[in-house]
Amino acid sequence: MDLAYLRAHPEHLPTFLTHQRIRETPVSGGNVSTASRLTLDDGASVFTKTWPSGAAPEGFFAAEASGLAWLREAGVPAPEVIVALPTMIATEWIEPGEPTPAAAEQLGRDLARLHRAGADAFGAAWAGYIGPLGLDNTPSPEPWGRWFAERRLLPYLKVSVDRGALSATEAALVERVLQGLETYAEGEPPSRTHGDLWPGNILWGADGRAWLIDPAAHGGHRETDLAELTLFGGAPHLSSIIGAYDESYPLGDGWRERVPMHQLHLLLVHAAAFGAGYRGSVRSAAESTLRAL
């Protein structure tokens, strides 16, 4: 199987893997999927992800494929999808490199281009996932604050509380944030967003570019993407990313004070998916958000 054959017959990839007809090398793929590098007969490589045990949730890999295609339509570096099946996804292989200031500045400009591409509404035309959890992408004409509260905070607050990841203290704080967002005045139209842009979802390539991977893409607020870049230690050369972005697509007054509000979505997702280790971060973000509302 070479790359041309794979493009023409993507449905055959699972059979070739089952019969060990393709060289497969495990690679790091994050907290959810099992990832591999496949080396084809023509020497080309592709990156694959499969569900680690049993059947993947319905539409899981289709959501990633749709998101990557949507990002690429905006002209930003995102891997090309070669195979999208219910059981797996395969994309072009991006040779890893090191983050550089020049790549960071270009990433800032690429994110500005992505966000300017816009979206028809908050949400997306496909059912979404973020990590292992479903993401309600039902397109919505509601104001951003209400949509963010109802579709991006409340579902993961409920799961976090049900699983014991958050105490009554954190739950009460987030519920106050939800109430504040009901009347939050926000005038920006929906941006085309990556949707899960923590630093681990940037692949710094050997080609000198920063590639966007593992999206939970949807129409959202552009500040959410940028706020997520600062989580979990922050992206390399973060000031260069933000500076180049702001030059290309100036941010609104007070955006720094709003960072915790936009981070709250991904922090609640992590609490819901991975447990109480994120309790303190949720509490801190909620407290900061209440001061900003």
Domains, the chain:
3-92 (3.30.200.20), 101-292 (3.90.1200.10)
Distance (Å, rounded) from C-alpha 193 to C-alpha 181? Answer: 20
Give yes or no for a contact between 119 and 218, defined as CB atoms under 8 angstroms apart.
yes
Q: What is the pLDDT along the chain (293 residues), one digit of tens a residue?
A: 899 999 999 999 999 888 778 899 999 866 788 999 999 999 999 999 999 877 889 999 999 999 999 999 999 999 999 999 999 999 999 999 999 999 999 999 999 999 999 999 999 999 999 999 999 999 999 999 999 999 999 999 999 999 999 999 999 999 999 999 998 877 789 999 999 999 999 999 999 999 999 999 999 999 999 999 999 999 999 999 999 999 999 999 999 999 999 999 999 999 999 999 999 999 999 999 999 88
Q: What is the pLDDT of residue 189?
A: 92
Q: What is the pTM of this model?
A: 0.95
Q: What is the pLDDT of residue 32?
A: 83
Q: What is the pLDDT of residue 274?
A: 95
Nearest to 263 by CA among 217, 232, 219: 232
Q: Exposed, middle or buried by CB within 10 Å (0-12, 13-18, 19+), for 261?
A: buried
Rounded to a whole number, what is the largest CA-CA distance in the chain? 58
3-state DSSP call for residue 209?
A: coil
3-state DSSP call for residue 50?
A: strand
- For residue 151, give both structure tokens: 């579709």
Could you tell me whether strands 128-130 and 45-50 are parallel, antiparallel, or unpaired per DSSP bridges?
Answer: unpaired
Ramachandran assignment for 254, one of left (phi > 0), alpha (psi -120 to 50 degrees), beta (any other) = left
Q: Bridge partners of 134?
A: 129
Q: What is the pLDDT of residue 185?
A: 76
Torsion of CA 1, 76, 132, 180, to 10 degrees: -170
Distance (Å, rounded) from C-alpha 267 to C-alpha 289? Answer: 13
Q: Residue 73, Cα to own-chain centre: how many angstroms?
A: 16
Q: What is the pLDDT of residue 29?
A: 65
CA angle 84, 206, 118 (to 5 degrees): 55
Q: What is the pLDDT of residue 188?
A: 87
